[in-house]
Structures are given as C-alpha cells and as structure tokens.
Amino acid sequence: MNLNDPGFKHPKAACLNATPVYFSERGDATWVKRAKKICQTCPVLEECKQYVLRASRDTMVYGVWGGMSSSQIKAYRKKHNAEKWAMAEVA
C-alpha cells in the first residue's frame, strides 16, 4: 500500500497509523509479513480488496493492499477477471 496514494483511506483502516514502509514496494519480507499481520486485524479488509479490484491497472502494483503482496494482488486481479468473464459467458 502506498500510504501517500489518495485512493483508499478509510478512517477505520488498521494501516492508517502504521509505519508506511511496511506497506511500500521497498519493504523486505519481514516488513511484508508485518503489513499482512496488520491487515488481518483490519475491520475494512474486504473494502480494501474491493478497492484493489476497482483501481486501474497502473495503481497499486506494488506494496501490500488488502493483506496481499504485489504478486498476490496480480493473481487476485487475474482470478477475479477470469471469474467475471466466465460469468458473462454464462449470462
């Protein structure tokens, strides 16, 4: 998560007062684990995940968002898009 991003900033988000580097693309594996642990306690985790899906492809490519690392976000978006297309074909 880029805490300087003007996007998702819910007042109840657990990350609001967290150390920003935990959520940045420059964080190491220990920082990513700490960020994910903070996300696990977040009351707006699902809202954050939905923001990840709605945001443009150029937004939030790096860092931790919705309890997911950059690579997990890419996989989450890919899976969601595949499910969305499959549902469209059925309809």
Q: What is the residue-level pLDDT of the chain in tens, covering all 91 positions?
A: 544 455 567 889 998 888 877 777 776 888 889 999 999 999 999 998 888 887 766 565 567 889 998 888 888 888 887 776 666 665 5
> What is the pLDDT, as a whole number, of residue 73?
87
d(CA 42, CA 23): 14
> What is the pLDDT, as a whole number, of residue 5?
53
Any domain includes 63? yes
Any domain includes 8? no
Closest among 42, 32, 39 to 62, alpha carbons compared? 32
Cβ atoms of 73 and 39 closer than 8 Å: no
Any domain includes 7? no
Domain count, the chain: 1
Any domain includes 69? yes
Q: Provide the residue range defining the domain that includes 65.
A: 20-90
> What is the pLDDT, as a whole number, of residue 59?
60
> What is the pLDDT, as a whole number, of residue 38?
93
